[in-house]
A and B are shown apart, each in its own frame.
Chain A
Amino acid sequence: AQKVTQAQTEISVVEKEDVTLDCVYETRDTTYYLFWYKQPPSGELVFLIRRNSFDEQNEISGRYSWNFQKSTSSFNFTITASQVVDSAVYFCALSASGYSTLTFGKGTMLLVSP
Chain B
Amino acid sequence: DAGVTQSPTHLIKTRGQHVTLRCSPISGHKSVSWYQQVLGQGPQFIFQYYEKEERGRGNFPDRFSARQFPNYSSELNVNALLLGDSALYLCASSPGQGDYEQYFGPGTRLTVT
Contacts and interface: CB of A to CB of B under 8 A. Distances in A.
Interface string A92-114: 01010111111111110000000
Category for how many chain B residues contact A? 20 to 34
A101 B48 contact: yes
Interface stretch (A14-22, A40-48, A54-62, A64-72): A40-48
B42 A44 contact: no
A26 to B, nearest CB: 15
A33 interface: yes
A100 B98 contact: yes
Contact of A104 (B43, B56, B97, B99): B43
Interface in B86-113: 88, 90, 92, 94, 96-107, 109
Given A45-B90, A98-B98, A103 B105 contact: no
A107 B106 contact: no
B106 A43 contact: yes
Contacts of A35: 101
Contacts of B106: 42-44
A103 B45 contact: yes
Nearest to A50: B101
B44 interface: yes
B55 to A, nearest CB: 9
B109 A100 contact: no
B99 A102 contact: no
Given A44-B107, A102-B45, 19 more contacts: A43-B107, A43-B109, A44-B104, A44-B105, A44-B106, A47-B102, A91-B43, A93-B42, A98-B98, A98-B99, A99-B98, A100-B48, A100-B94, A100-B96, A101-B33, A101-B56, A102-B33, A102-B35, A102-B92
14 contacts: A33-B99, A42-B106, A43-B107, A43-B109, A44-B105, A44-B107, A45-B43, A98-B99, A100-B31, A101-B56, A102-B33, A102-B43, A106-B42, A107-B41
